[in-house]
Amino acid sequence: MPKVASRQLRRMLYQFNTGPVELRLKAFPPHQQKQILETYFKFTFVREPFERILSAYKDKFVYPRFPRSKLQLHGTAILKSVRPNASKSALDKLDDISFSEFIEYLVTKGSNKSTPVMDWHWDNYVNICGMCAISYDFIGHYETFDQDMADFKEAAGLTPDSMLAPTINPAPPPLCSIITRRLP
């Protein structure tokens, strides 16, 4: 799930992966997807929605850590939408988008369905990871990460000694739910 310590979770769990680096459910044929959803341990971590949106704003517009093209896509659209008389300098630099402009853009141009406006870093969980369609075996919370991580390790049957403990940094990157292993 984007914006809930996903880079740290990936780092911790990839040590158990013996297959391809990126595991995405859509990479498998439909019959195998069904089998995976029925037999694998499924989990996700979530974050309080307003904290998640603030984190996405900071990560994308205050301290951007992604290609300029992504900043241009969203930043230009935000300024053209909520600041119709934006200067050429503001449109070129894209370095002064306020949080209130970001929120106004999401509220006026976003929807309850995934659109280009609703980047997966701030889109609704239902649109990203099928929160209602998947029967998760474990749902952890960013706000109680340390305790939930311990509970997750136990629920998933992962031994504490064999795992690197993830640490939370101020701007965790995206990840959708991970499917770790088959249930016994």
**Tally of structural domains, the chain:** 1
80 domain residue, yes or no: no
Would you call 8 exposed, middle or buried from its count of C-beta atoms within 10 A (0-12, 13-18, 19+)? buried
39 domain residue, yes or no: yes
116 domain residue, yes or no: no
pLDDT band of 73, cuts 50, 70, 90: confident
Q: What pLDDT was estimated at residue 180?
A: 42
**Could you tell me what percent of the chain has a pLDDT over 90?**
15
Domain interval for residue 172: 6-49+125-182
Q: What pLDDT was estimated at residue 153?
A: 85
43 domain residue, yes or no: yes
Query: Is the pLDDT confidence value at 66 over 80?
Result: no
Q: Pick the more confident residue, 6 or 107.
A: 107
The per-residue pLDDT for range 83-128, each reduced to its tens digit, is: 989 999 999 998 899 999 999 988 888 765 555 666 767 777 666 6
The whole-model pTM stands at 0.66
The per-residue pLDDT for range 46-58, each reduced to its tens digit, is: 888 888 889 888 8
16 domain residue, yes or no: yes
The CA distances from residue 20 to 13, 62, 96, 158, 174, in Å, are 13, 33, 40, 20, 18
Rounded-to-integer distance, Cα 137 and Cα 150, Å: 15
11 domain residue, yes or no: yes
**Average pLDDT of 37-48?**
86
Q: What pLDDT was estimated at residue 170?
A: 38
Rounded-to-integer distance, Cα 71 and Cα 60, Å: 7
**Average pLDDT of 152-166?**
69
177 domain residue, yes or no: yes
67 domain residue, yes or no: no
Q: Pick the more confident residue, 65 or 141.
A: 141
Query: Is the pLDDT confidence value at 26 over 90?
Result: no
The winner for highest mean pLDDT among 48-62, 123-137, 168-182 is: 48-62
